[in-house]
Amino acid sequence: MSTLFKILGITIIACLGLLFFGHVCVEHSSASKLSQVLAQYHWALSLWRYGLYTLVLIIWPYFIEFVGIRQKWRAETILYLSNQRLKLLALFAFIEIFFVYNLLGHLFVWL
């Protein structure tokens, strides 16, 4: 089981790196040649990001159970945190709206 979490940790770090690269370095309005080339593959970065969200939603209860047993949490705490997928999905939606689509940046431009 610890090998699974090592692989999961490496995967999440790689996904976060690609998320950073995809949404900070690849700007559709940028004039650099790298941005113009990588903007064609924006769909692949989006698939990668949504794949990460799906992976986290699937593995979430197992991760909480693993951490809870190692940290000697009560069974009620493990059960409560394992059932928080809807709140986790809301967190992902918040990340998408405010950071990926840069809603705050667009609002400040309008002001």
Instruction: Report pLDDT digits (tens) over 10-31.
Output: 777 777 766 666 665 555 455 6
Q: Is 72 left (phi over 0), alpha (psi -120 to 50) or beta?
A: left
**Alpha helices, DSSP H, located in the chain:** 2-20, 33-39, 42-70, 75-82, 85-95, 103-110
56 and 16 Cβ atoms separated by less than 8 Å:
no
pTM over 0.85: no
pLDDT of residue 29: 53
Average pLDDT, stretch 57-72? 87
Average pLDDT, stretch 73-79? 90
Q: Which of 6-10, 29-33, 68-72 has the lowest mean pLDDT?
A: 29-33
The count of domains in the chain is 1
Residue 23: which domain range? 2-110
Could you give the angle at which helices 2-20 and 42-70 cross, rounded to 10 degrees?
140
pLDDT of residue 72: 92
